[in-house]
């Protein structure tokens, strides 16, 4: 409610299948499809294992050199960590994320990859 137009708020509602802001889910789903269509081919991100405890490895692929930001958010959209914030060459990368380092409790978290104009949001679950 605090940041109704925030991208992470919109994406988290879509990924969770919830409609916390009492908006029409179909409208949000169309917005998500539009965003997905805008992501250029070759940009990929995933984490394994998922669910995880206490660490997971976030892997991503860049088809071209770009300024990359990789962040983790909690279910309320609060930033937990900035894992990457730099220019990177095309290629595959892996980053380990440890819940213990940030003293996190069990729950759903989101990780985002922003590379140039491309923005991808995925969810992961921490089970203690």
Query: What pLDDT digit, counting tens, does each position of 52-76 carry?
Result: 999 999 999 999 999 999 999 999 9
Does residue 23 lie within any of the structural domains?
A: yes
**Structural domains counted in the chain:** 1
Residue 102 structural domain: 7-126
Does residue 1 lie within any of the structural domains?
A: no
Q: How confident is the model at residue 128, as a pLDDT?
A: 87
Q: What is the pTM of this model?
A: 0.70
Does residue 2 lie within any of the structural domains?
A: no
The pair of structure tokens assigned to 124 is: 């992961």
> Do 99 and 51 contact (CB within 8 A), yes or no?
no
């Amino acid at each position: 409610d605090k940041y109704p137009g925030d991208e992470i708020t919109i994406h988290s509602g879509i990924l969770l299948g919830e409609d916390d802001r009492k908006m029409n889910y179909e409208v949000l789903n169309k917005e998500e499809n539009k965003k997905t269509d805008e992501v250029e081919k070759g940009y990929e991100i995933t984490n394994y294992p998922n669910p995880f405890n206490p660490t997971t490895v976030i892997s991503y692929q860049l088809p071209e050199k770009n300024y990359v930001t990789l962040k983790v958010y909690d279910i309320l959209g609060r930033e937990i960590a900035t894992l990457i914030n730099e220019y990177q060459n095309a290629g595959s990368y892996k980053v380990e994320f440890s819940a213990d380092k940030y003293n996190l409790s069990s729950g759903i978290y989101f990780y985002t990859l922003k590379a140039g104009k491309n923005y991808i949001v995925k969810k992961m679950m921490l089970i203690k």
